[in-house]
Structure 1
Amino acid sequence: MVRLPLTPAELERGQRLGALLRRARGERSMLGTALDAGVSPETLRKIESGRVATPAFPTIAAIADVLGLSLDAVWAEINRADAAAPARSAHEHHAGERLAL
């Protein structure tokens, strides 16, 4: 399966996701956080740096849970700049973009 290149919006959301997770992790070690979430430290490092802009939903859910973040808060943060974009119908939104979580 060929993976399509990420759009600038997806890359930006990935950067916002990484920044949110870094802030939430605070002084916790990356290793401890990753192990508690059941992901590799390298996976967490890539997500936090924005190198993995569209991680799998279960991965984000596990990390968010360990960090005490609600998925609603994660969703709101990564999509905050999108609110300034022109409104689109739900069909247009889901037909043209991958889920950022």
Structure 2
Amino acid sequence: NADDATRYRVDSEVEAWRAHDPVQLLERELTGRGLLDDEGIERAREAAERMAAALRDRMNADPELAPMDLFTHVYAEQTSQLREQAAALRAELDAEQDHEHSAEESR
């Protein structure tokens, strides 16, 4: 956990709350009933770590953004300046795409 509870709680309070950890409580309950063994605990931990790693990867990935989205959902009606800027950007993007397309054809 990135949060360091010892910065604002005394050690005894931190330890007392660890006894109320819902994951540990469920683990103890299922183990006590014979529904979970060490192998099951390890599989669950590994699955949780894989899920967490995948989530971290998705959260840290840079999304691919569409430049024209800069002009959507800003105003109910675009101002004339925004329409001009959007047209200029569209022209620049189209020119860039044409240039890239020409470069690919010449290869």
Q: TM-score, normalised by structure 1?
A: 0.27
Q: Which structure has the larger Rg?
A: 2
**With CA pairs under 8 Å and 6+ residues apart, which has the higher RCO, 1 or 2?**
1
Q: TM-score, normalised by structure 2?
A: 0.25
More helix by share: 2
